[in-house]
Amino acid sequence: MSDRICVGAIAGSYGVQGEVRLKSFTADAQAIADYGLLHTEDGTKTFDVTLNRPIKQGFVARLSGVATKEQADALKGTRLFADRDRLPSLPDDEFYHADLIGLPVFDTGGAELGHVKTVQNHGAGDLLEIHGPGLKATVLLPFTLQNVPTVDLTAGRIVADPPEGLFPE
């Protein structure tokens, strides 16, 4: 598990006063401003975030140290990370995507199916993208209790009961 979790991304500048268009990846979108200083992925920059107003697909926000349109433009595509200890603890049946990525996935018989490459959501629920040595292409496994009965972060493994035919025999 990493010490920081990606909570948002800068989609570009907004106007000419140094404001940015900010996408929030948090369950409560406005909570992104509640996690204290946010860091770039490499940790070289930190920002205090102030949300000014909602817009389509995010917020207009002010970042500390960003005063011009050019500075805001330069940050386009930057992912923002919060310290894990600033995030709320989750119920037993919820997980941060970052904690799932890289975990090995086993079937109910103990055979390894692969590793979680990404967690995707295209609107109908989370999908685990699984890749591994026996797979010609990655497999998208719906992340439901039926398909994934066990996620054991302590042991660092996922047990899956995938639908018939999803994985090659």
Q: What is the CATH classification number for the domain harbouring 110?
A: 2.30.30.240
Domain residues for the domain of 102 are: 97-160
Per-residue pLDDT at 2: 63
Q: With 90 as the cut, is the pLDDT of residue 154 above it?
A: no
Q: Is the dihedral of CA 66, 70, 75, 77 positive or negative?
A: positive
User: Does residue 151 lie within any of the structural domains?
Assistant: yes
Query: Does one domain contain both 36 and 82?
Result: yes
User: Does residue 169 lie within any of the structural domains?
Assistant: no
Q: With 70 as the cut, is the pLDDT of residue 1 above it?
A: no
User: Does residue 16 lie within any of the structural domains?
Assistant: yes
> What average pLDDT does this structure show over 110-128?
90
Which of 67, 86, 105 terminates a domain? The answer is 86
Cβ-contact 33, 51 below 8 angstroms = yes
Query: Does one domain contain both 70 and 136?
Result: no
User: Does residue 41 lie within any of the structural domains?
Assistant: yes
* pLDDT-based confidence at residue 102 (cuts at 50, 70, 90): very high
Query: Does one domain contain both 45 and 9?
Result: yes
> What is the rounded average pLDDT for all residues in the chain?
91
Q: With 50 as the cut, is the pLDDT of residue 63 above it?
A: yes
Query: Does one domain contain both 80 and 102?
Result: no
Q: With 80 as the cut, is the pLDDT of residue 95 above it?
A: yes
If we measure between CA atoms, which residue out of 112, 131, 109, 111 comes closest to residue 120? 131
